[in-house]
Structure 1
Amino acid sequence: MESMLLGSALSAFATGAGALPVLFLRSATHRFRDILLALTAGIMMAASTFSLIPQALKQSDLMAITIGIALGVILLTLIGKVIPHFDLESKFSDKLDKRTILIIAAITMHNLPEGLSVGVSYADGSSNLGGLIAFAIGLQNAPEGFLVGLFLVNQNIKRLAAIAIATGTGAVEMITAYIGYKLSTVVEGLVPYGLSFAAGAMLYIVYKELIPESHGDGHETSATYAFIAGLLIMIYLIHWFG
């Protein structure tokens, strides 16, 4: 339990750490933004396909994997229907208006399955999977925190407040990490479904959100290289620590 709480806290608060550069910056180029998004996509793709799914397959069968992934995709689809995607570069007003709050809520909701993946991974208990997934989520949370913080600063939100809000969008992951961990340790046979569910949710985010966003401004080649770099980084981490 202690290691799960520590791992989920570190991965969650990586969002706030990633937002710290907004103390000095008010803008970032399209290319840099796309590289960050694609790097994040590569990390999440590798974590899902080379870590979460294989570990789930060791403990169950293809039917459990299919059900878990499908449930993860369905949940993210429903979240997308209720709280639609917004462009983080949009300009609204000089205060924290309703639409800005809605964007923050959407980002927070999309972070919930990531916390779940951390909690379920720690509940697996048979390997270093929990720490590895927590580290992977932390790696992808940092650039997300930077982009959220930058967006808020561009809405003329005070820099420290922007960092605090960005940190809060990631901190909710600790709640779902705890829920995922407790459910997986109490309900027998739930771990492979939980791992597959987390993989499905992450893969949905990669293909539905991150890859299209990183290819929307004419920097497809740079984004592709960043995606592959993120993929390789995570593969190396899985090889060394998995």
Structure 2
Amino acid sequence: MILIGSLASLLAGLATGIGAILVFFIPEPSDKFLDASLGFAAGVMLAASSFSLIVPAIEIGGIWKTVIGIITGTVFLFYAERLIPHAHYVAGVKGPPTKLSKIWLFILAITIHNFPEGMAVGVGYGGGDIKAGTSLAIGIGLQNMPEGLAVAFPLLREGSTRSKAFLIALLTGLVEPFGGFLGISVVSLGKFLLPYGLAFAAGAMLLVITEEIIPETHSRGNDREASIGVILGFIIMMVFDNIFS
């Protein structure tokens, strides 16, 4: 199961490259399209956090273990974002002062996002439920596609070639197997850790959604398009979760 969970998180991470490959075939998309795409990714993550992580955590461990897990995951990612310098195209540079180039700061930002996503996939398989883990892997892979697009094109604006922008976007997705391996390994140590692990991944993802992705999508005046993307992504992930449950 550890191998399956790690491979599933790897495939979900590689989906970032599917979105990024569009840099070779289409002109630069509009800000409306990018914001709607990122909104879609946020909607998928929100539904995955709710139906695939939080609800099972409550069913397995009860409400208070779930609360502890969510808070722990949120605090973990909050400090990771404070301690690791990173940048978003609209929000700018965050974290401690650094001399890293803006391209590297973009890479670090998406890496911070992808780690809890990979962990979510791994933890999803940690309970031994292949259907639940597969639902999460499909959902995370689905939302990684617009993220890849949203990473690659800003890199073009920063002066990267199309090949380099694609490669960087693809590589940022490869952090997910590490998160997946860690997640499934930890919860495999004991079933009592499963609700904490599920809720931990959910808390980290909720912070990414509310502090990073949604504010980013609403910062250029494309609120309606971004909101439609969120709702569409939420619905699609909700359907996936019910199909595989």
For normalisation by structure 1, the TM-score amounts to: 0.92
**What is the RMSD of the two structures over their aligned residues, measured on CA atoms?**
1.8
**SS of equivalent residue, structure 1 residue 86:** strand
The residue number in structure 1 matching 2:111 is 108
Decide which moves more: 1-10 or 16-25. 1-10
1:158 aligns with 2:161: yes
Task: Return closer, same or farther for 1:79/1:26 CA change in 2, 3 Å cut-off.
Answer: farther
C-alpha distance after superposition, 1:181-204 (max 9, x if no partner): 111111341111000001111111
Tell me which moved more, 217-226 or 168-177.
Answer: 217-226
Instruction: Give the aligned partner of residue 33 of structure 2.
Output: 32
Name the CA distance, whole Å, in 2 between partners of 1:180 and 1:63: 20
- Equivalent residue for 2:97? none
Aligned to 2:101: 98
Structure 1: which amino acid aligns with 2:170? T
Matched residues in 2 for 1:86 and 1:19: separation?
18
Partner of 2:95: none
Matches within 5 A, 1:1-150: 1=1, 2-84=3-85, 86-88=87-89, 98-126=101-129, 128-150=131-153
1:191 pairs with 2:194: yes
Structure 1 range deviating more: 150-159 or 107-116? 150-159
Q: CA deviation at 1:131?
A: 0.6
Identity of aligned residues (%): 39
Corresponding residue number in structure 2 for 1:94: none
Q: In structure 1, how many angstroms separate the alpha carbons of the residues matched to 2:235 and 2:109?
A: 29
Could you tell me how far apart the structure 2 residues matched to 1:116 and 1:154 are? 31
Check the 8 A contact 1:132/1:237 in 2, yes or no.
yes
For residues 45-92 of structure 1, the C-alpha deviation after alignment (integer angstroms, 9 at most, x for no partner) is 11111221111111101111011000111011112212355232699x
Equivalent position SS for 1:216: coil
Which letter does structure 1 place at the counterpart of 2:233?
A: G
Q: Tell me how far apart the structure 2 counterparts of residues 35 and 153 of structure 1 sit (CA, whole Å).
A: 19
Q: Aligned letter for 1:20?
A: I
Letter of the aligned partner of 1:18 in structure 2?
G
Determine the C-alpha separation between the residues in 2 that align with 1:201 and 1:90: 19
Unaligned regions of 5+ residues in structure 1, if any? 92-96
CA contact (8 A) 2:91 2:216 kept: no
1:161-176 matches, within 5 Å, as: 161-176=164-179
Partner-residue secondary structure (3-state), 1:125:
coil
For residue 145 of structure 1, report the CA deviation from its aligned partner.
Answer: 0.8
CA–CA distance in 1 between the matches of 2:231 and 2:240?
A: 14
1:208 aligns with 2:211: yes
For residue 124 of structure 1, report the CA deviation from its aligned partner. Answer: 1.2
TM-score w.r.t. the length of structure 2 is 0.90
In structure 2, stretches of 5+ residues that fail to align are: 93-99
